[in-house]
A and B are shown apart, each in its own frame.
Chain A
C-alpha cells in the first residue's frame, strides 16, 4: 500500500460539459517518488494533469493532496494546497524576466518567505541566478524548462506535476532535466509527469501509468513497464528500442 501524497480517484474531466476526455482515471504519487504517465497522443494524459491542476472542467471523481480534498478546486487555490504545475507549452512568461517569473511563481508567499524561496531556488539553479534579468523570451528550450520547474518550486510544493518536461529538448538537456527531477524527488517532492519520451522518463521513474482513450490501461513499477513487451511495442518504440 502506497502512502500517497497525491491521490486521484475516478477522475472524469474534459473541456466541454458532458464530453469528457478523461474517464474514471486514477493515479497515486507518494512523497519522493517519480511517477510517469505514458500513452499515445490523445490518450488524455495532459488533460488529466490539467484536471488535477484545476485548469479544465472537472466533472467527477476525487483528488486529494495530503489528505485534503481538492477536487475541482480552481487553479489558484491548488498552489496553496501544495501542488505545483509546469504546463507543456507556454510554461514561462516570456515578457517577464527570469526574476519576475520566479516572483510571480511565489505570488502566494509573504515578503520574507518569498526572499527565502528566491535564494533557495537560485541556489538550486545557479544558471538562472546568473541571468536573472534576462527576459523569458530569449531563453533556450532547456532554460525555459529549467525556469518552469524553478517557478513551480517557488512555493515549495509537495507535488510537482510536469507536462512533457523534455519536449523539444536536445538529448543532452533531456538528461539534465531528468537528473534535476531525480534530485528533486530525493528531497521528498512527489513528481507526476506526462512524457512522450516514455523510455527515458520511465528509466528515471519509480512507477508508471499507461493511459489509452482517456482510461487507465495499465500501471506498475517503471521496471515492469519497461520490460512489458506489449507496452514496449505500443508505447516505447517497439523491440528495436526496447533492448
Chain B
C-alpha cells in the first residue's frame, strides 16, 4: 500500500516537474539565444515573461476570456492572446534593444557593461509592470478546474496539459525554423562566428533583431503559461530568473537543445526534491545540480560538443 502511494507521489512529482520545466525551458531558450547571438547574459530576459503575461491579460480583458474550450479554463481568446502577447513582447524586446543595448553596441561597450545594463533594464521593466497593472495578483479566468487522471496515478489540470502540449509545439517550431529556414541558418551561423557570417553577407543587426523578437516571443509564451497555471504577479518573471539561468547553463550555453533539457532538469529536480527533503530547500536544489554538472562538465550538458543539435 505504502509502495503504491510512493509510486503515485513520484509520478505526480515527475508530471509537476515537467510542467515547471516546460515553462523554464521557454525562458532558458531565450537566454541561450541571447548568450549565443547577442553574446551577453541578459538578466532582463525574465521580465519579458512578465510583460508577455500581462499583455495577454490586457488582451483578454478587452476580448474577455471567452467561453471555455472543452475542459480548459479559457476560450479561444486566450489562444489569440498568446499570439498577440508574443508579437507585442517581441516588440518590447526590440524597443529595449534600440533604446539601451544598441546604444551600447554602437559604443563598443564591454560585455560586462551589457550585463550590468541588463540589470537596470530588468528593474525598469519590472517597475513599469507595477505602474501599469498594479501590485495585485491576477488570473486569466475565474473558472474552476478539476484535475483529470492523464496516466495511472498522475493527475493534471487540463490547462497544464495544454501548457505542456503547446510548449512542445513551440520548441519543435523553433527547432524547425533554426534547422530549415534560411533565417534560422543565418542565426546559427551568426551564433558560431559573427565575422564569418558577416563575410557571407549576413547583417549583424538583422540577426540581432530576430534574436530579440524570437526570445521575446518565447518568453511571452512562458509568461502566459505561468500565469495560466499559477497567477500573474509583477515579480513572476523575476522569481524565475535564477532558475532560468540555471537551466540555460546546465543545458550548456550555446545549445538550444540543452536549454530545453536544462529547463526540464531544473523543473524535475525542484519537484522531486520535495519527496526527500523539506520543501523549504526546494529552490536550492537546482543550484546543487548545477554545481555538480559544472564540476564534472563545465561546458554544461550539451555545451560546445553538441552545438549542431540546436
Residues of A within 8 A of B (CB): 53-55, 74-76, 79-80, 85, 87, 90-97, 100, 103-105, 107-108, 135, 137, 151-152, 155
Contact = CB atoms under 8 A, between A and B. Distances in A.
Contacts of A75: 195, 198-199
B199 A104 contact: no
Contacts of B199: 53, 55, 75-76, 79, 85, 87, 152
Given A76-B204, A137-B308, A93 B188 contact: yes
A95 B308 contact: yes
16 contacts: A54-B198, A75-B198, A75-B199, A85-B199, A90-B195, A91-B196, A93-B188, A95-B192, A96-B192, A96-B308, A97-B308, A104-B185, A104-B186, A107-B182, A108-B201, A155-B201
Contacts of A53: 199
A151 B57 CA distance: 48
Contact of A87 (B192, B195, B201, B204): B195
B196 A107 contact: no
A55 B201 contact: no
Interface in B191-250: 192-193, 195-204
Interchain residue pairs A-B with the least CB separation, the first 10: A79-B201, A75-B198, A108-B201, A95-B308, A95-B307, A104-B189, A107-B201, A76-B203, A85-B199, A76-B198
Given A96-B185, A104-B189, 8 more contacts: A53-B199, A76-B203, A95-B307, A96-B192, A104-B185, A107-B202, A137-B308, A152-B199
Given A93-B188, A95-B192, A104-B186, A76 B202 contact: yes
A100 B195 CA distance: 17
A222 B17 CA distance: 69
Given A103-B185, A104-B186, A93 B201 contact: no
Contact of A107 (B188, B192, B193, B200): B200
A152 B201 CA distance: 10
Q: Is the interface of B mostly helix, strand, loop or mixed?
A: helix
B200 A104 contact: yes
A233 B285 CA distance: 66
A132 to B, nearest CB: 14
Contacts of B308: 95-97, 135, 137
Interface string B152-183: 00000000000000000000000000000010
Contacts of B204: 76
Contacts of A103: 182, 185
B18 to A, nearest CB: 28
Q: Is the interface of A mostly helix, strand, loop or mixed?
A: loop
Contacts of A95: 188, 192, 307-308, 310
Contacts of A137: 308
A147 to B, nearest CB: 12
A76 B198 CA distance: 5
Contact of B201 (A76, A91, A92, A135): A76
A36 B193 CA distance: 26
A151 B193 contact: no
A108 B204 CA distance: 13
Given A76-B204, A107-B201, A135-B308, A87 B188 contact: no
Interface string B28-70: 0000000000000000000000000000000000000000000
A96 B200 CA distance: 14
A5 B198 CA distance: 22
A94 B182 contact: no
Contacts of B200: 76, 79, 104-105, 107, 151
B201 to A, nearest CB: 4
B198 A93 contact: no
A155 B203 CA distance: 16
A79 B189 CA distance: 16
Contacts of B198: 54-55, 74-76
Most A Cβ at <10 Å: residue of B189, B192, B199, B308: B199
B202 A93 contact: no
A103 B198 CA distance: 14
Interface centre among A87, A92, A104 (most CB of B within 10 A): A104
B153 to A, nearest CB: 41
A91 B195 CA distance: 10
A107 B193 CA distance: 15
